Amino acid sequence: MENKKNMTNEQLESALNSYRSKATLAKIVTYGSVAVMLLMFFTGMIPIALIFLLLSFVGGYQLSKNTQALKTILGDNIISGVLKEALGDAVEYNPMGRVNPGSMVFPFPYSRTDGSDHIKAVYKGLNIGLSDIELINEEETTDEEGNTERSRTTFFKGQWLICDFGKELAGEVYVSERSRKDRSSMKSNVTMENERFMKRFCVKAENQQEAYYILTPHMMEYIIRMADKSGGTVYLSFLRNGKMHIAVKTGRDFFELGKSEANVEGLRQKFLGELRWFTDIIDTLRVEDTLYKKETNV
């Protein structure tokens, strides 16, 4: 973020629209070329298939180049300022990095993790990490004739926050928002008194009492409210080592330009809103006395 260029809003908006248009065109060329290449290959027209294979490589290169340029110009001219406003000066941003996901209860398996837009910061004295995350399950199956088929399914795309509260939490507690189809596969081993909360979330803990310490009536109502505002499906884990993980399955990346016309002030407010959803949670939970393990006098 050191190489910030001085651009007027009009110049910045023009550059963003230009790079987005080029990236969109490159994406169409790439995927279209792959589709035609496969068709030509299966119909035996190998020379033509090779031409479209080359076009797919060219399109892929242009897609990567313009996507990276778009990320860079957003980072240098908008995101850097938004991060400092929301998180303070002690912040680092790596558009190609990601956090390492921790323990969470999901209704799906995954074998591979991908991500981007890694943010590291010290927010009000707490170390946090935040990034886009994709959780992908890759499988290889072999039929009776010995033919091998590989499949790749993305089960989660969204954001992942890790916040280190700096002292031991009251226990290991997992809260997972679930849909109707997940209710049979995601069953709580803890029963809370809030029926509305229990219908919406699966709660798991090694020790039920630890869940009662953390998930107070006030905390459950707060989790419902923040899930309503999330724009996705929310998963939380409170870990004894002092770290809280929040994963939000939004189906999109952080800091997306989107399909609308690039507007600098509109983007700035949008990105601030995305960040403040997470900082509001940290602000609320850091003062929750029941979140932390009580010291015992011997």
What does 219-233 look like in DSSP terms, one character per residue?
HHHHHHHHHHTSSSE
The least confident of 74-78, 198-202, 251-255 is 74-78
Task: Specify whether the CB–CB gap between 278 and 250 falls below 8 A.
Answer: no
- Which of 38-42, 52-56, 62-66, 182-186 comes out lowest in average pLDDT? 182-186
CA dist 266 and 269 (Å) reads 5
Q: At what angle do helices 9-42 and 264-285 cross, to 10 degrees?
A: 90
pLDDT greater than 90 at residue 77 = no
Confidence at residue 12, expressed as pLDDT on a 0 to 100 scale: 82
The pLDDT of residue 282 is 92
Cα 190 off chain centre by = 27
- Look at residue 279 in the predicted model and tell me its pLDDT: 93
CA atoms in the 13 A half-sphere facing the CB of 286 = 16
- pLDDT tens figures, 211-270: 999 999 999 999 999 999 998 999 999 999 999 999 999 998 888 777 766 788 888 888
pLDDT digits over 138-175, tens only?
Answer: 887 777 777 777 888 999 999 999 999 988 888 899 99
pLDDT at 181 over 50: yes
**Mean pLDDT on 74-83:** 86
Distance of CA 152 to the CA centre of its chain: 18
Can you tell me the mean pLDDT for 37-50? 88
The DSSP line for 142-206 is E-TT--EEEEEEEEEEEEEEEEE-SS-BS--EEEEE--GGGTTT---SS--S-HHHHHHEEEEES
pLDDT reading at 133 higher than 90: yes
> What's residue 182's pLDDT?
74
